[in-house]
Amino acid sequence: MAGFFVMGFADIVGTVVNQVKSECSLDEVAAGFLPSMIFVWFFLVSLPAGVLSGRIGRKNTVLVSLAVTVAAMFLPLAGGALRPWPYFAAFALIGIGNTILQAALPALMGNVVPPALLASRIALGQFVKAVCAALTPVFIYVAASAMGNWRLVFPIYGVVAAATAAWLMLSRIPDEWETSDGLAVPRTTFGSCFALLRNPLILALTVGIFFAVGLDVGFSVAIPEFLKTVYKVDVNMAGTGPTVYFVGKTLATAAGAALFARFSPAKCFPWSMGLCILAVVAFFICSGPVAFLCCVFVASVASANTFVMCMGIALDKLPEKANEITSLMVMAIAGGAVVPPVLGFAQKCAGSTGLVWVLLACLVYQAVLSVSMYENAMEEK
C-alpha cells in the first residue's frame, strides 16, 4: 500500500505546471510538454519493465523503480529555480520510475496475497493512490505558504519513497520463480502483447485507457488554469483546485468496488460517461468558482473508474491473456503525455474555452466506446 502511495506521486505534475510556467517564464505550449515528461515513458518502458521483472524478480524491480523516484525528487532543488531543465529531467525520471512501479507492484502483490483477494487489494491500492493525488495540491500549498518554497514538496516525497524502499527491502516476500506445481512461471513477451492488438475489442479498450489517462491529467492541468484566467483566482490558491477533483476521484474509487460487485462495468460505463459530459459542458455556464468546482467534482466522480471499467471488461473477455492485457493498458497510460500539449495549443488558440473542448473530445471517444461495450454485453446476454 505504501508503494501505491508512491505511485500517486506522478499526479504532482498537473498541479505544479502553473508554478513552473510562472517561475521559468514558459509559454503554454512549452508548459504543456511538462506532463509529457512523465507519461511518454509509459509507452516506452512498460513492456521492458515486464521483461525486467521476469529477469530480476518483482521485488527487485519495484526497488529499482523506487530508487529512480528518489533520485527524481531531489533534482528540482539541486538545479535551482528559474531554469526549466531540472523540472523536465525530474518529471522524466518520475515517469520512468512510475512506469516500472505500475508494471511490477500489482504483480508483486500476487506473491503475498491469495488469488481470491488480489483484485480487492489492487482496488484498495488504487484508492491509496487517489488519496496521494488528493493530498498533493494541499502539500504544495502548505510548502508555499508555511515553508516559503513550494518546491520543498519534492524532497519530502523523496524521503517518503526512500522509506518505502527500505521497508520493502527489509520485508520477507516469497519469490515467484515457480508456481505451486513446480512449473516455470509463464513470462509475457513483446510479441504476445502486440499480437493481442489484433483483437478489435482489446484495441478499442486500450485506446480507451489512453484517453482516460489523458483526460485525468487534462483535468488536473485545466482546473487551476480555468480558476486563474476565468475567475481571477490567485496562482497558489488556484493550484489547490485539483484537490476537489482528486477528492471526488478518491470517493468514487472507494465506491467503485462495491458498485461493480452488483453491476457489470459494461452497464455502468455509458451512465458514467454521460454524466461526465454534462458536467464538463456546464463549465461554459458556471457563474463563479464555487459552481465551477461543483461541476469539477461531478465530472471527477463520473470519470474516476474509467480505467477500472476498461480493464475489467478486457479481463472478463480474455482472462487467459491477463498478463498481456495489463502490460498493454499500462503502456496506454502514455495518453497522459499527448493530451496536455494539445491542451496548451488549444489554450493558445482559443483561450480557456479551448481547454474544455479538448476535454470534451476525449469524452466523446469514451462515450462511443461505452455504448459499444454496453451493446456487446446486451447481445451476449
In a domain, 341, yes or no: yes
Between residues 273 and 288, the one the model is more confident about:
273
Rounded Cα gap, residues 98 and 42, in angstroms: 8
Per-residue pLDDT of 302-333, as tens digits, reads: 998 888 788 778 877 876 676 677 778 888 87
- In the prediction, which pLDDT does 183 show? 47
pLDDT (average), residues 297-304:
91
Going by C-alpha positions, the residue among 67, 83, 74, 78 that lies closest to residue 20 is 83
Residue 371 has a pLDDT of 93
On whether residue 213 sits in a domain, the answer given is: yes
Percent of the chain with pLDDT over 70: 90
Confidence grade of residue 57 (pLDDT, cut at 50, 70, 90): confident
Q: 68 lies in which domain range? A: 2-177+187-380
pLDDT by residue (tens digit) across 73-99?
888 877 555 677 788 888 889 989 998
pLDDT per residue as tens digits for the range 1-53? 899 999 988 877 767 777 777 777 777 667 777 777 777 788 888 888 877 87
Higher local confidence (pLDDT), 51 or 154:
154
Q: Which of 150, 28, 26, 18 is nearest to 85 (CA)?
A: 26
Least Cα distance to 119 among 265, 271, 334, 245 occurs for 265
Domains in the chain, number: 1
- pLDDT higher than threshold 80 for residue 274: yes
Q: Do 122 and 308 contact (CB within 8 A), yes or no?
A: no
CATH value at residue 342: 1.20.1250.20
SS (H, E, C) the chain: CHHHHHHHHHHHHHHHHHHHHHHHCCCHHHHHCCCHHHHHHHHHHHHHHHHHHHHHCHHHHHHHHHHHHHHHHCHHHHHCCCCCHHHHHHHHHHHHHHHHHHHHHHHHHCCCCCHHHHHHHHHHHHHHHHHHHHHHHHHHHHHHHHCCCHHHHHHHHHHHHHHHHHHHHHCCCCCCCECCCCCECCCCCHHHHHHHHHCHHHHHHHHHHHHHHHHHHHHHHHHHHHHHHCCCCCHHHHCCCHHHHHHHHHHHHHHHHHHHHHCCHHHHHHHHHHHHHHHHHHHHHCCCHHHHHHHHHHHHHHHCCHHHHHHHHHHHHCHHHHHHHHHHHHHHHHHHHHHHHHHHHHHHHHCHHHHHHHHHHHHHHHHHHHHHHHHHHHHHC
More confidently predicted of 297 and 175: 297
- pLDDT higher than threshold 90 for residue 278: yes
Q: Is residue 55 part of a domain?
A: yes
pLDDT tops 90 at residue 163: yes
Does the residue 123 lie in any domain? yes
Kindly tell me if the per-residue pLDDT of 179 is higher than 70.
no
Whether 306 is covered by a domain: the verdict is yes
List the single range of 181-195, 335-349, 364-378 with lowest mean pLDDT: 181-195
Q: Give me the chain's average pLDDT, please.
A: 82
**371 inside domain:** yes
182 in any annotated domain: no
Q: Provide the grid cell at 35.
A: 506532463
pTM: 0.71
Res. 63: pLDDT tops 90: yes
The pLDDT value given to residue 254: 81
Q: What number of other Cβ atoms are within 10 A of residue 64's Cβ?
A: 20
The answer as to whether 336 is a domain residue is: yes
List C-alpha distances in Å: 43 to 109, 216, 269, 329.
Answer: 23, 17, 25, 10
- pLDDT value of position 279: 93
For residues 66 and 23, the model is more confident at 66
pLDDT at 204: 94
